[in-house]
Structure 1
Amino acid sequence: MRIILVRHAESLGNVDELAYCRIPDHALPLTARGEQQAVDIGPRIRALLGTGPIAVYVSPYLRTRQTLQLMEIDDLADRIVAEPRLREQDWGNLQDPVEQEVQKRQRHEFGHFFYRLAHGESGADVDDRVASYLAELELRMLRQSSHPTTVLVVSHGLAMRLLCRRLFSWSIELFESLSNPNHCEFRVLERDEQGVWSIDRPFTQWRQSPDGSTQKTSVR
C-alpha cells in the first residue's frame, strides 16, 4: 500500500490574510502562482503514480480541488472522492482580523495541538478526523479487492502533518515542532509486506522537540 500526500498550491489566503474576512475558507481560490505550481508538480506526481489505477481522496475545499484538477492525473484514477475529514482546520466562518491575530498569538502560547479556536477546532480535533479517515481507508482496502493499492491524498499542511503523526506515533511535542510543507510539496508513505510503514523524508523542524523525540521514519 502506498499513500502520496500533496499539499495544495498557493491560495489567495496565503498572500492576503484579509481574504478570510470576505470569502469563506473553503471557497478561497488558487492564485495565478498557485495555478502554475499545480501544473508544474503534475508530471512529478504522475511519475510517482505510474500507470495506475489509483484512488484519489481530496479535501473538498476549492484550493485542493483546483490543485488536483491542474495536476491532470484524472485518467489514472479509479475513483476520486471528496473527503471532508481531510479539510483544513476550521477557524470558524468569516474571520475578524483583530480577533484572529489574538487567536494566533494565544494558540502559539498554548500549543497548536490542544488550543481550541473560539469558533472552530483544535489540532486534536483534526487529529481525530484524519485518524478516522486512515482507519476507514485501511478497512476499505481489506474488504474491497478492487480498491487500488496506491492512494493520492490532496489536502492541507496541518492535516498532512497530523496524518503522519498518527501513522508513525509521533509525540504531540514533536508535531508542534514541525513546519508545514511548502505548497505542492509531497510525502510518500509506503507499507511493505510485513506491515511496516515508512515515509520518504521527514518534515522540516523549526525547533527541536521539547521531549527530545525525533521523527520515526518507519513503524510497524
Structure 2
Amino acid sequence: MPTEQTSQMSEPVFEAATCHKPRLIILIRHGESESNKDKTINQHTPNHQIPLTENGWKQARQAGIDLLRVLNLDDYSIVDKLEEQCKEENGTKKELPLRNYSPLSKKKDTNVVFYTSPYKRARQTLKGILNVFDEYNELNCGVKVSEDEKYHTTGKSKFALWYPPTFPSGFYENRRRSPVEELSDGKNFLQYRVKDDPRIREQDFGNFQQVNSMQDVMKKRSTYGHFFYRFPEGESAADVYDRVASFQETLYRYFERTNKRPRDAVVLVTHGIYCRVFLMKWFRWTYEEFESFTNVPNGSMIVMEFDNSTDRYVLRTELPKWC
C-alpha cells in the first residue's frame, strides 16, 4: 500500500505518484440472474454459465446510468435523456444511498478501466453498462461505434472474440479509429478498457447444486458463520479473501507505475460476496464487521472516492446490514 502523505511531502514527486490513483474505485454487483430468481437452475447449469433475466438486463443498463452520474462529464442532460428511456422500460432496482458524495476533483473523467468476472451474468451486466457508455459518447461527441466493434460477452467459438482481433484474449478497448479524429465542439470522448479477471469471480459453492441439500448447507452456514464456513467442494469467504488480496496487490502495483496512463475510475463488475470481502480487505474490517453486512441488491453500485488530503479512499455508499 502506498505510504501516507506527511506534512513535509509537498514536492512534485509525491504529486506524480498520487496522480495515478484513480479518483473513484467502484464495485457493481451483477444484475438479477436466473439463479437469483430460481435456484433449481443450479442443478443442471454451471454457475459460470447462468445468464441475466430480462429484469437483470434492465438493472445493468440502469447501473450504467448510475455510473455516469458519479463521473465528471461534459453534459448530464444526456444522462437525463438516457435515464428517461430506462424508466420507460420499467426496470426495477433498489437504490443504495451515497453519503457526502460531491466530487472532490472537478477534472473531467475520460479514462475508465473495467475489470469483470468471467461469469456470464457479470459479462452481460458489463455489456448493458457499456451500451449506455457508447450511447453517451455518440450523443456527446458524435462518435458512433458499429455493432461489430462493440464489446461482446462471447464469440461464435468456445472462447470470446475481442475487437480489434490483434488484442490478447480477455482485453477490450473502445479506441477511436483515428487518435486525431475531431470531436464535436471539443467534447471529451469517454474511453474505457475491459479486462477479464477470474480472481473477481463468484464464491465457489460447489459444482451442480441440489436445491434440498443446499438449503441444509445454508442453514449450517448461518450457524457456523458466513466468513469461515467452507461449502462442500467450494470456498469459504475466507478463501475469497485470499483472491481479493492478490487482486488488490495488482491494483496497487499499477497505481505506482508512473509511466502508465492514469485511470480516472476503476470499476469492478463482480458478485455480492466478493464486493463485501473486497471492502473488508481494503478498509481492514474485522470478520465480525464483515458478518454485520449483507449483500447489496443486484445491479447496485458501491462508490469509493479518493481524498487527496488524507491519501485515502472514503466509502461513500451506505451498505445494508442484517436486520
Letter of the 1:4 counterpart:
I
Contact 2:63–2:301, Cα closer than 8 Å, also in 1: no
**2:10 maps to what in 1?**
none
Mapped partners of 2:65, 2:264: distance in 1: 20
> 1:54–1:150: 8 Å Cα contact kept in structure 2?
yes
1:60-96, CA deviations, whole angstroms, 9 ceiling, x for partnerless residues? 1000100110112365444211111111100111112
Aligned to 1:104: 218
Structure 1 ranges of 4+ moved more than 6 A: none
Residue 14 of structure 1 is matched in structure 2 by 36
Q: Which one is further off, 4-13 or 147-156?
A: 147-156
Distance 1:99 1:154 in 2: 29
Cα-Cα RMSD: 1.5
Which of the numbers 265, 272, 277 marks the counterpart of 1:157?
272
Q: Secondary structure at the match of 2:39?
A: coil
Structure 1 residue 21: Cα displacement? 0.4
Unmatched 5+ residue regions in structure 2? Answer: 1-21, 73-108, 135-173, 175-189
Counterpart mapping for 1:74-113 below 5 A? 75=174, 76-113=190-227
Structure 2 counterpart of 1:59, one-letter code? S
In the alignment, the residues of structure 1 paired with residue 69 and residue 62 of structure 2 have an alpha-carbon distance, to the nearest angstrom, of: 12
1:129 equivalenced with 2:151 (yes/no): no
CA distance in 2, matches of 1:15, 1:126: 24
The offset of 1:58, in angstroms, is 0.6
The 1-side partners of 2:117 and 2:261 are apart by 23
Is the deviation greater in 191-200 or in 157-166?
191-200
Letter in 2 for 1:55: V
Q: Which amino acid aligns with 1:31?
A: T
The aligned counterpart of 1:39 is 61
Q: Which amino acid aligns with 2:61?
A: V
Report the count of equivalent residues: 207
**CA shift at 1:49, angstroms?**
3.2
What is the aligned partner in structure 2 of residue 202 from structure 1?
Answer: 318
Q: Tell me what 2:46 maps to.
A: 24
- Return the offset for 1:206: 0.9
- Residues 107 and 192 (structure 1), Cα distance of their counterparts in 2 relative to 1, 3 Å cut: same
TM-score (norm 1): 0.89
8 Å contact from structure 1 (residues 56, 77) kept in 2: no
Higher relative contact order (CA 8 A, sep 6+): 2
SS where residue 269 of structure 2 aligns? strand
Unaligned runs of 5+ in 1: 208-220
1:218 aligns with none
Matched-pair contact (CA < 8 Å) for 2:25–2:303: yes
Q: Which residue does 2:127 correspond to in 1?
A: 69
Partner of 1:210: none
- The corresponding residue for 1:56 is 114
Deviates more, 1:18-27 or 1:69-78: 69-78
Aligned partner of 2:296 in structure 1 is: 181
Q: Quick one: distance in 1 between partners of 2:317 and 2:45?
A: 35
Residue 145 of structure 1: how far off its partner (Å): 2.2
User: Could you tell me which of 284, 296, 304 is aligned with 1:169?
Assistant: 284
In 2, the alpha carbon distance for the partners of 1:22 and 1:88 equals 18
Q: Is the contact between residue 60 and residue 83 of structure 1 (CA under 8 Å) also seen in structure 2?
A: yes
Residue of structure 1 aligned with 2:263, choices 148, 165, 169: 148
- The 8 Å contact of residues 110 and 264 in structure 2, kept in 1 or not, is answered as no
> Highest Rg: 1 or 2?
2
